[in-house]
Structure formats: structure tokens, C-alpha cells
Chains A and B, each alone.
Chain A
Amino acid sequence: MKKLALSDEILLTIEKPARYIGGEVNEVKKDPSEVEIRFCMCFPDVYEVGHSHLGIQILYDMFNKRNDTYCERVYSPWVDLDRILREKNISLFALESQDPVKEFDFLGITLQYEMCYTNVLQILDLSGIPIYARDRTEEDPIVIGGGPCAYNPEPIADFFDCFYIGEGETVYDRVLEEYKENRRVHGSRRDYLERIARIEGIYVPALYDVDYNPDHTIRSFVPNHPNASPMIRKQVQMDLSHTYYPERPIVPYIKAVQDRVVLEIQRGCIRGCRFCQAGMIYRPVRERDVEYLKGMASSMLASTGQEEISLGSLSSSDYSALPDLVYYLIEELGKKGVNLSLPSLRIDAFALDVMSKVQDIRKSSLTFAPEAGSQRLRDVINKGLSEESILKGAADAFAGGWNKVKLYFMLGLPTETEEDIEGIAVLADQIAREYYVIPKDKRNGRVSITASTSFFVPKPFTPFQWVRMCTAEEFLQKKDVLRRKLMEQLNYKSIRYNWHDAEVSILEGVLARGDRRLSGVIYNTNKKGCLYDSWSEYFHYDRWMEAFQENDVDIDFYIHRERALDETLPWDFIDAGVTKEFLIREYRRAQEGKVTPNCKKACSGCGAMVFHGGVCYEERKGDSV
């Protein structure tokens, strides 16, 4: 029988012991003594969150298909267990074998949001792995980072031995082969890192020197080793219909955030919203073949027994075979009592038809993400959603029986004025008015509108990577303006307003566009006991601010200044496909309020053509002549 790393007494004292025992349906079991490479895959958040991430499920499946490798999992221990592990000096362990993480060859950490950085340090610390890469010995695993935050790895570069930039399907095999080869020739840890520095997409921070100007901007960023390339090219899996996909995903016992089968229908997004990092770094758009997806859906449902399936993509409505796929799934799954969930659908006739088939209209809500309140500002951010289409969509939906609407906006977007903010309130009110156009006897109770705002955080590799971000005070003022304006609306009683925390956004902003000078801050913050910064109840802004002071780092430098277009940015050494020229062009068009067509309408020459495929090479309708 499986031996657990934690005693019964500990497991019965903490919340949700199932987070730490593994043994789930479809977990991969191997004899660790019979493999050459042990890889521990980590999502640095609590099990229910981490488990829901598709990317590491794909990698888990891919690594375990190799006979010479055993890939296991670890997530952040929740605060209750964190305390116990420290008190009792218990080393953090992987779920499958329950062996200490420190005994593995690799520790791979996916970086999905900046606010997980203190949790990364927690993982290292609890595993007994030195936090700074430079302090690690031959005994320690190679710590490798990946995921969207790896597109600016600099704030955490000192904690990682290397980063994998881009999609994991392409060069991980080489990373593992080199490991075996290095071991065969008795190479050291350093030898290994020098070896893999030659692999496209692999960034080894120790092989680069950064020099700063007196004003703290970067003077130079240069390799200090011949194997290290001055530019790191992101990795893209071009053919998504003939590649790894977890046909037998793990089924957790406790309810995960994503308690369903996820079918990733495409990668990337054609839209080119100028605030959106995902829309830039995952270019070009690549679709999975619809027949492949149908087959995959059946086998994943059969192997998991899940009662729900969800389509995964940044913008499902842009998937070319969506009606075919969706109607097939409704038909097939309906027979088996499986629900279909459809996030990120643009509201139109098709969406309403589908939604009426898969949801209870009275309970479900319509979601719109105009992001900005005025057409002017929506043009600035290139959000191709017009007021007309929102109102039309809402009116059609109301006529179909819906009465709940969720609206998502951002505050603090570049060039935003008070009129733009007021536009949010007016738009919410107009939607409510559309509802009351319906004759009273046909209405389904009152209309309920929820407007939520987040604060705009400029991200690397977007046309807004140079802009000044608002201060917390400015954000809060904007929020107050909006609240006031909402109160002035005719239907204000039907509108609920939620806003995000400004302080978290500020920190996210600092970390997103930070440089190597931030590692000391993150280190100190973690030493002050900070963990789970993305969970508001555990977020301590004051401790972060102390840590900035202790390290003599001024946050204004990172967020409250407009960067010059010729400034060397910390992430400039990464080649994400989109060129700097394109981003500058887009930034200028934003300032002029000019929209840029989406990739299916016309190519804007962003640079992603270098990957030789996807939407860039598809024929466009109306493109000819």
C-alpha cells in the first residue's frame, strides 16, 4: 500500500488532506528506480487551482510517455500545512511517490501570474533547495521556469537555473536528452546549463550580465558565455492536431476550480487587443482540427467520467469550425448527461442559440467584455466590440428570456478621461433600458447587471509596454468617479458594481515589467512570511513596501513613468515573434485611436510569420483582388 509523506495525525488536522495524497484516477504510476530522469512539475498555488491548469497536464502526459522519465506533481502547500512542514522540518514531497522534491532531477515551475512569485520561493524553501540558483549544488534539482511570466523572467531570474520560453511541446525532449548525455560524461550542473543554453528557447540567466545606467535603466544585457544566444526565440508548436494531448487527464477527488474536461480548441487570438499579453505572445493563431477534437472529447470523457466539458481558447467564437464542433458535442453529450460549458463566446445569434440549449436561461448570465466605456477608448485598445453590437446582443438575449448581464471593464487605460469612465455607467444603463423595452408581461423579472472593473496593468510584449501605469490613488479616484456616475443612472438600482483591489494591481505592475533588481525584494517579502499574494486574505501590501525600502528599490521607476521607445527593456532579449517595430506601430496607432484589423481580416505584419504557419498562411475572405 502507498506510504504517505505525512502522518495520519497531520493529514487529519489540516484542511482537505486529499490535496497531498495523490492516487487520483489516471495518475501515472512508475517505479522511480526504473527511470533515468525524475521530473517534478509544479504549479505554485494550492492544489485546486494548480490542478486546473491545462498546460502542465499536457506536459505531465508528454513527459510520462517517455519510458526513461517519471514526471510527478507538486503544488503549494496551503498555509496550514506550510506551518506544520516548517515546524516539523518535513521536506516538501511529490504527490505520486511522496518522495522529497529535492531528490528529483528537475523541478519545473509554471509561472501563470506574477503574484505567485512568493509561492515559488515557498516551494524551493520547503523543498530544501537553495533559493538563489547560484547557491545550488550538484545535489539539487535543476529548477526550470515556464509559462507566460517567463516572457519577462528577470524579476525571478536569480531563483531559476533556466527558463523555457514558449510552448513545451517542442524542445523538452532535447532538454532531457542533454541531461542524460551530461550525466553520461559526468558533467556538472554548470556543464549541463551551458549545454542546454544552445537549445533554442532555453534561457540560462547565469550566462548573461546586466549592467545599469545611473538612472537604473539597462545599459547593457549581454551573454557572458559563447553558448548563450543574445536573443531567445520563443517556442511554438505549429501542428496542434498531431501532438501531445492528455487523453487521460487526472481526476481530482476534491473539487478543483476546473472540475471538467478541457478541450483546447486553438492557441492564440486573432484580435490583437493592445492591452492583452496573451493575444501577443501566443501568436500566431493555430487551430486544432475539428475531427481531432471530437475524438479527443470522447476519449477524455470516457477516461475521466467527468460530467462537464469546456472549450478552452482565448476567444472561442473565432474558431472556424465552432458550430460544427458545438452542435456535435451538444448532440453526443446530451445523450450521456454531460454538460457543455462555453466560456469566451461573443454574444450573437449563434451563441444565444447554443446557450439556450446548454444552460438554464433563467439562471445563466450573458457576459460582455467591452473593457472600455467609450468607442473612442475601445478604438485605442483595439477592442473590436461596438456599442451597437453589445446592445443588439443584449436585446436579443432579453427577448430570448435572459435577464442577467455581466460586464467587464478596465480602469486606467492609456488616454482614459472622465468621459470614458462615464461611458461605462452609461453603457450599463443603456443595456438595462433595452430590457425595459420588452413588454412587461414578457419580461422575466427584473434585469440584473453586474459591472466589474479591474485596473489596467501594462504588460511586456504589448503595444502598451512603455506606458505609465496609474498610481493606487488614481485608480481609486477612477473607481469613485465610476461609482458616482453609476448612481446617476436611471436604472442604477439594477446595476451592481465590483472593483478589484488597487494594491495588488500595483504590485502586479511592478513585477510584470521588473528587472533583476527585484529579486531581493521578492526574497525579503517571502522571508516576512508572504505567501499566496493572489489570495486577498493573505496579501500584505505593507510587507511588500517594506521590502522595497530595504532593497532601496523605488516602485515608481517600474510603473509610474513612461519609458522611452529606445530604452532597453528587461525582456528585450526574448524574441516572442511579434517585433518591436510592430509594437511601436501599434502603440502609435493607439495614440491616434486607429484600429488594426484582426488576423483573419488582414495581416498586419506583426512578425509571427517567422513560425511558418497558422492564421498567417490561411486564405482570407475578401482578401483577394
Chain B
Amino acid sequence: MTIRIRFRKYGIMKFIGHLDVMRFFQKAIRRAELNVVYSQGFSPHQVMSFAAPLGVGLTSDAEYLDVELSDIPSPEEVLARLNAVMPEGFCVNACQILPETPPNTRKENAMSIVSAADYIVSLKDGYQTGLAREEWRSQFCRFMESDRIEILKKSKKGTKQTDIRPMIYESGFSWQENPDSVRERYENGLTVFLRTAAGSTQNLKPELVIEAFCEFANLSWHPFAWQVHRLELYRHNASQAFEPLIP
């Protein structure tokens, strides 16, 4: 049986990289004494899949992981046991038992179904954009009206001119947010919402959008000035609408 867990990553844990988060959860699941299914062989490991790796420095309200258990107490119990062994900076807040995959169909995993993500990008205190807040906002709206947004995307094969506009699904200065979101808040109040493509076929990091905007508006780009926070991860549901990984 596979369960899907949603968790938050915040505070100092934003400095823990994706591979270490995976290791962390393997240990946390043991501490919580959940009965995981192990792979066979001499160094058994847990069968686990993370939805979309979160870069170092980012915080999140909605990370997802799938893990196979041999028995499941109850979703509430899973959450309670896991939270009892979490250090500050990690917290699980939803758990869903996934339906059994019918025979002869490929098993879905969190990784393969992600299609989009919501982000909140905030200017950290102590940094300046070079523009007043309102001016920054209106320039950003103009930027988003562009038909094409070309950036140089680096890949293994070298750099390539790419149009990222189609990968930005939504943007704006208001959004729906859980009041207990763990994102960091700053005094300057300059924050922008983005919904971008995510997943294994198409993926756009929100930082690239801000960087492209800085170039558009002729502002200097400072890679450490922005705190990126992931609000939610989506899949396409049957009617091709975006639906959170745990609805």
C-alpha cells in the first residue's frame, strides 16, 4: 500500500538539500516506526518517491512524497507519529492512502504526475530592487504582458535561447494562502505570486522569471535577494484542470 504525505520545509531546514531530505525522511519513517516495505538484497532501502525536488534555499508549504508501507495504521496516526519525530523545520500535514493500481497499469508516483507549482517570491530585507514597490509591480505587470520571454537556458549541451512565457501560467500580487503558511515574511512587503510549469517534462524555476524581469526592466539582478517559497504542487486532473497532489 502506498501513502502520499504532504510536508512543510521551512526555517533553517531550507539549507538542507534534496538528497539529504530524502535521507532524512528514511530515518524519520524508521523513528516513527511505520512499517515500510524494503527493497530486497543486502542493503535494503525504502521504496520512496518525492514529487519535485526543492532547491537549497527555498521553503515550502507543500512537498510531497510517496512511500510504500506494509500496513497503515490510519492517515491521522501516520501524521501524528511522524510529527512526533520531526525537528523544527519539517512538519507533515496531510496523508492520503493511494488507491491500488489496477493490474497491468503503470503505477503512478508523485514524481511523474507533477505539472505545475505555485510560488511566492519575496524580496528579502536588506536588499533593494532599485524601484519603488508600486513601480516595480507595474513594470512586472508589463513584463507579463510580453508575448515572448526569452532567456538563455543552460543545459548540458550548452546554452539555448528559450521562451519561458508559456511556462508561466499565472502571476500576480494576490493569492490564496493558508494563514499558517510557513513562509518567511519581510518588512519591505515586495512579494509576487507565480504559477509555473513543474515536473519532469517542463520545469521553470521562479528565480529565472525574476531574473528575466530584471533584465527586462533594466534592474540589477541579485541572486540572493529573493526568497522563493513553494505554496502548492499540482497535477492535471481528469478534466485537465490543476489539482493539488493531495486534493
Contact = CB atoms under 8 A, between A and B. Distances in A.
A376 B165 CA distance: 78
B20 A303 contact: no
Nearest to A308: B43
18 contacts: A1-B12, A2-B12, A12-B57, A21-B12, A25-B27, A25-B87, A253-B16, A253-B20, A302-B31, A304-B27, A305-B29, A305-B32, A306-B30, A337-B36, A339-B42, A339-B44, A360-B42, A360-B43
Contacts of A521: none
Given A12-B56, A17-B56, A360-B42, A23 B12 contact: yes
Contacts of A9: 224
A339 B31 CA distance: 16
Contacts of A11: 15
B53 interface: no
Contacts of B31: 25, 302-305
B57 A360 contact: no
A339 B42 CA distance: 8
Interface string A182-202: 000000000000000000000
B43 A339 contact: yes
A1 B11 contact: yes
Contacts of A17: 15, 56
- A-side binding surface: helix, strand, loop or mixed? loop
Interface in B8-31: 11-13, 15-17, 20, 23-24, 26-31
A303 to B, nearest CB: 7
A301 B20 CA distance: 19
Contacts of B36: 337
A8 B88 contact: no
Contacts of B23: 253, 255
A336 interface: yes
Interface of A: 1-2, 4, 8-9, 11-13, 17-18, 21-25, 27, 251, 253-255, 301-307, 336-337, 339, 358-360, 363
The 5 closest A-B pairs by CB, nearest first: A305-B27, A305-B30, A305-B31, A17-B15, A360-B42
A305 B28 contact: yes
A253 B227 CA distance: 22
A5 to B, nearest CB: 11
Given A1-B11, A25-B87, A18 B27 contact: no
Given A18-B16, A27-B87, 19 more contacts: A1-B11, A2-B11, A2-B12, A12-B15, A13-B224, A21-B15, A23-B13, A25-B87, A253-B20, A254-B20, A255-B23, A305-B30, A305-B32, A305-B85, A306-B30, A307-B26, A337-B44, A337-B46, A360-B43
* A307, A339, A360, most chain B CB atoms within 10 A: A307
Nearest to A3: B12
A9 B87 CA distance: 24
B88 A2 contact: yes
Given A4-B12, A8-B224, A12-B224, A337 B27 contact: no
Interface of B: 11-13, 15-17, 20, 23-24, 26-33, 36, 38, 41-46, 56-57, 85, 87-89, 124, 224, 227
Given A17-B56, A23-B88, A339-B43, A251 B224 contact: no
A21 B16 CA distance: 10
Contacts of B11: 1-2, 23
Nearest to A336: B30
A234 B46 CA distance: 46
Given A2-B12, A8-B224, A18 B20 contact: yes
B87 A18 contact: no
A393 B163 CA distance: 65
Nearest to A17: B15
Contacts of B124: 8
A306 B27 contact: yes
A166 to B, nearest CB: 34
Contacts of B89: 23
A230 B44 CA distance: 56
A326 B89 CA distance: 37
Contacts of A358: 42
Contacts of B43: 339, 360
Nearest to A9: B224
A303 B57 CA distance: 28
A250 B203 CA distance: 36
Contacts of A13: 224
Contact of B42 (A2, A301, A359): A359
A287 B56 CA distance: 45
B196 to A, nearest CB: 21
Nearest to B182: A1
A301 B12 CA distance: 25
B15 to A, nearest CB: 4
Contacts of B29: 305
A24 B224 CA distance: 25
A59 to B, nearest CB: 22
Contacts of B16: 18, 253
B225 to A, nearest CB: 9
A11 B43 CA distance: 33
A253 B88 contact: no
A255 B20 CA distance: 8
Nearest to A4: B12
A27 B13 CA distance: 14
A21 B15 CA distance: 8
A20 to B, nearest CB: 8
Contacts of A18: 15-17, 20
Nearest to A360: B42
A22 B43 CA distance: 29
Contacts of A253: 16, 20, 23-24
